[in-house]
Structures are given as structure tokens and as C-alpha cells.
Structure 1
Amino acid sequence: MIKKPPFVVLSKISDQIARLETEVAVASPTLANVYNDLQCQIDVVVANLEPLQTISGHIEIVERSMETILDFLSSSGDKSISAANVYSLLEPLHAKIHQQGEQLRKIV
């Protein structure tokens, strides 16, 4: 079984519920209301997951940047690198991680 991101799974479930809701509405208006409530709840979850995808993308960028910096530091060998230079490489990444952490805390 292929593992899919929750956003994709919930979107698919939402679509299926919408199709079923139309069919059920004819047979039972009460069940149609239940389906509508489920649809609304899933829509809320999907809306909350969308920012998480953005945050995940930002974190991936920071991760690749940190790998590049680590490769640079590793390849420098015995060459002297000033603390100020290392700081200037790491400070923007720290700021980005902090920003994404703030966004994540707002969601969670």
C-alpha cells in the first residue's frame, strides 16, 4: 500500500462524501445533513493542513541550505574560518527555522 500525505487522502475523502451526499439527499434528508457535517469537518482539517505543506517546504529549503553549509565547512579542512563568517551563514537559517516554528505553533 502506497502511503499518501494526509492532505491528499482527506481531499479524496471529501470528494467521495460530496458525491455520496448528492445520492443520499434523495433517499434521506437527515443522512444528507450528516454527510454535509462530515464534509464541513473535513474541509476544516484540509484548510489547516495547507499551511503545514508550506511550512514543510520551507523546512526542506533550510535543511538543504544547512547541508550545503556543512559540506562547505567540511571541505574547508584546516583552513581557518572566522566565527563571524559561520554566524553569517547560520543566522538566516536560524531566523527561517524560528519563523516556521512560530507558524507551526499557531496551527497546532
Structure 2
Amino acid sequence: MFESFYIYIMSDLLMALVTFLMGLYFYKSKGKAANLLSGYNRRSGEERKNFDEDSMCCCYGKRMMVMAIPFVAGAVIDVFWEGIGCALAWGVWIILFILLLVKRTKTEKLK
């Protein structure tokens, strides 16, 4: 039977993989992934000309790839303390996500 700590480890590693791959897609998209950003995709073409979509996607991609690290660390912690690593990983991820949204709000303000 599948032990519960395997579920924690697999969910941590799956979330790390998904987050890393999304970040890699943003990083390598050359600005095309900007359409996936909520709110930004509703701006007019004239408003979008004020932004460097390539550097914006590159920056967001790097941050998303870093956001995978807590889940890898959480999987390692779950080997020793079942469930603690998963909870810590989600807590750190939520903090990093909020920081990403704050940075995005600051950088996307129209000039």
C-alpha cells in the first residue's frame, strides 16, 4: 500500500516540476507568454507598447523557477518529518507569490 509520506513527497515534486516548467516557458518565450498574465492580456495594444514584454517575461520566469525550490526542499523534509515539508513549502511559496505580485504591480504601472 502507498504510504502517506510518499503522497507528500510526490505532490511536492510534482508542484516543483510544474512551477519550474512554467517559469522556464516564461523565461524562453521572448515575450509571448505575457498574454498569460491576468490583467495584462486585457490591455490595449497601445498600452502594451509601454512595456518590454521580453524582459518582463524573463524576470517572471526566473522568479517562477526560484519558486520551485521550496517544494524540492519540502520533499526532502517530508522524508524525515511527514507533512511538515509540504506545509512549509506551501507557506514559503505563498510568500514568494505575494512578493511576485507586489513586484508585478510596481513594474507594470503605466509611465
Considering Cα pairs closer than 8 Å and 6+ residues apart, tell me whether 1 or 2 has the greater RCO. 2
Q: Which structure is higher in helix share? A: 1
Q: TM-score range by the shorter chain?
A: 0.3 to 0.5
TM-score (norm 1): 0.39
TM-score (norm 2): 0.38
